[in-house]
Amino acid sequence: MPFKPGVVYDLDEETYHASRDSLSSSGVKTILSSPRRFRYELAHPVEQTDAMKSGSYMHALITGQDHPYVRKDWSLATTEGKARAAEAAQLGLIPIPPAAYDAAEEMAGAILGDRHAAELLCEGEPEVSVYAVDETFGVNCRGRIDWWCPDHTMLDFKRVSTADPSGPLQRLMAQRGFAVQQEHYDGIVRELGYRPEHFWFICVEPEPPYNVSVVELDGESRAAGRAACLVAYETYRDCMASDLWPTWRQGDAPMTVTLPRWARGEVYA
């Protein structure tokens, strides 16, 4: 699918992720870590793990969309199991191990049963793909919004190890670049003329009791995310122009590093 600025509804996930002429939020985060890894992953797409399949199934259940996922309640050690696996493959179904499949249903149920999340899902459209050119560096950008009510709200569903907003979730959001994702998406829709009021992360834990938190980032965090996006866009533009993809964004020359503060007081034998 050639790049074209705009909003695309009902685009299948495979087509969206197959794009090679635009930068996604995951691409932004990879470039910030290692341009070389970004280039490698373009040529070697990551195969879906069971956790990723479970997350996609959870999204489908929350948004009410059709999906290809099926509970893998068979064993390839038996003739019957091999036959069922072959039948699933022929039908284009994607099997998920029972534990991951059941967890997806529990997580989706927890989100749909949360009062705040349910209110946010009363209006809007699921899985909306958006495309725009960043005005600062002329980079083609794309995003896939989990749930969108134009000019009002964007939602993103996250499977997290902890949904505790008192501290643990904040650290996890920083580590996983939630602010970068938000500002990448926000920048795209603003280039298209939309002005969303809120971007909510709906976070759910993958184990009982499947705790849920609905959170948004403050202005300072968003500003840091936007600054990081601009660094990634500039790096991407320069790498594309030169076809040089350094291992580290700060360059491949030898560097001096400092141990973390907690380690500098240690005495080693």
pLDDT digits (tens, 9 = 90+) for 239-267: 999 999 999 987 778 888 888 888 877 65
User: Does any domain span residue 258?
Assistant: no
CATH number at residue 160: 3.90.320.10
User: Does any domain span residue 39?
Assistant: yes
User: Does any domain span residue 265?
Assistant: no
User: Does any domain span residue 81?
Assistant: yes
Query: What DSSP line would sit under 161-229, residue for residue?
Result: S---TTTHHHHHHHHTTHHHHHHHHHHHHHHTT---SEEEEEEE-SSTT--EEEE---HHHHHHHHHHH
User: Does any domain span residue 257?
Assistant: no
Q: Per-residue pLDDT for the chain (269 aa), expressed as one digit of tens each? A: 788 999 999 998 889 988 889 999 999 999 999 999 999 999 888 888 999 999 999 999 999 999 999 999 998 889 899 899 999 999 999 999 999 999 999 999 999 999 999 999 999 999 999 999 999 999 999 999 999 998 789 999 999 999 999 889 999 999 999 999 999 999 999 999 999 999 999 999 999 999 999 999 999 999 999 999 999 999 999 999 999 999 998 777 888 888 888 887 765 54
Q: Please give the tally of structural domains in the chain.
A: 1
The span from the CA of 259 to the CA of 215, in Å, is 33
Q: Which amino acid makes up residue 181?
A: Q
User: Does any domain span residue 188?
Assistant: yes
User: Does any domain span residue 43?
Assistant: yes
The span from the CA of 84 to the CA of 195, in Å, is 49
User: Does any domain span residue 133?
Assistant: yes
- Give the structural domain span for 36: 6-252
The span from the CA of 5 to the CA of 2, in Å, is 10
